[in-house]
């Protein structure tokens, strides 16, 4: 029971006050792109969750190998990216071979999801936060949910930010960036300052 509560707490932290997407400003380029494909958001977030869990597990098992290194700050992120690339290649190969139809439909979001995982896991991997498996599962679920919510919010922004009443120069991306800035300001109110 205690483990389950711990898992839920980690998930809640990842979605709410420690939301690295809104308060930390991490991974926005890909969230904005994911928001343009609202029909694929669910699967995209599921991929992010699975890849995050794999990355956290890999980081947990591989980080002791680097423990004595002088270049830890450089080696750890490189290792995480390498693990994520390997996870992507295995997943793509398996899906391509055994479920070609599924791969044809969702293959295009597989690579961005894997890359996003590196982005979203980096803060914790760099801080050497060795999450136990239940915590890692909670973190992965929370990250997937946070990603889904953020992309859902941004799936409606293109239309809002092309309002003909606003000055032409601000229409589109400039308005989106200001909108993101205001949202991020609200989350900064919860965290009270810098996350990392």
Partner 1 sequence: MTNKKTLLRETGTIFFNGAFFKNPVLIGALGLYPIVAGGYNLRNAVELSLLFLFLTLPLTLLLCLVGEMVPLWIRPGLVLTASAVLYLPAAWLTEKLLPGSVTALGMFAALMICNSMILSRANDYAPTHIGWAVAADALGCSIGFAAVICLSAAIREFWLKGSLWHTNMGVYGTADAGVSLPFFGFLLLGFFAAFVQWVNEKRSKKAGRRRVPRI
Which chain residues interact with partner 1 by CB under 8 A?
Answer: 23-30, 32, 71, 73-79, 81-82, 84-86, 88-89, 92, 96, 107, 111, 114-115, 118-119, 122-123, 126, 167-178, 180-185, 187-188, 193-194, 196
The nearer residue to partner 1, 25 or 134, going by C-beta atoms, is 25
Q: Which residues of 43-101 form beta strands (DSSP E)? A: none
> CB of 26 within 8 A of CB of 120?
yes
**Cα–Cα distance for residue pair 159/149, rounded to 1 Å:** 18
**Cα–Cα distance for residue pair 137/53, rounded to 1 Å:** 6
| Nearest distance, CB of residue 20 and partner 1, angstroms | 10
The two tokens of residue 12 are 């809640």
The nearer residue to partner 1, 5 or 177, going by C-beta atoms, is 177
| Nearest distance, CB of residue 4 and partner 1, angstroms | 30
| Nearest distance, CB of residue 92 and partner 1, angstroms | 5
**Cα–Cα distance for residue pair 185/164, rounded to 1 Å:** 26
| Nearest distance, CB of residue 12 and partner 1, angstroms | 22
The two tokens of residue 8 are 């839920």
The nearer residue to partner 1, 17 or 29, going by C-beta atoms, is 29
Q: What are phi and psi of 67, to 5 degrees?
A: -50, -40
The nearer residue to partner 1, 31 or 141, going by C-beta atoms, is 31
**Cα–Cα distance for residue pair 65/142, rounded to 1 Å:** 28
């Amino acid at each position: 029971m205690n483990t389950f509560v711990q898992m839920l707490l980690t998930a809640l932290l990842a979605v709410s006050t420690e939301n690295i997407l809104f308060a930390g400003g991490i991974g926005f380029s890909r969230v904005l792109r994911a928001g343009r494909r609202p029909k694929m958001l669910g699967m995209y977030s599921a991929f992010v969750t699975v890849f995050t869990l794999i990355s956290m597990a890999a980081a947990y098992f591989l980080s002791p190998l680097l423990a004595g290194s002088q270049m830890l700050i450089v080696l750890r992120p490189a290792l995480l990216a390498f693990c994520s690339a390997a996870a992507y290649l295995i997943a793509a190969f398996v899906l391509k071979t055994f479920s070609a139809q599924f791969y044809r439909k969702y293959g295009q979001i597989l690579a961005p999801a894997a890359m996003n995982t590196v982005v979203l896991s980096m803060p914790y991997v760099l801080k050497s936060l060795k999450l136990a498996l239940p915590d890692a599962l909670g973190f992965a679920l929370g990250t997937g949910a946070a990603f889904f919510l953020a992309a859902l919010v941004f799936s409606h922004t293109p239309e809002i930010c092309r309002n003909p009443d606003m000055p032409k120069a601000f229409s589109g991306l400039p308005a989106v960036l200001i909108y993101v800035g205001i949202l991020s300001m609200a989350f900064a109110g919860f965290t009270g300052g810098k996350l990392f």
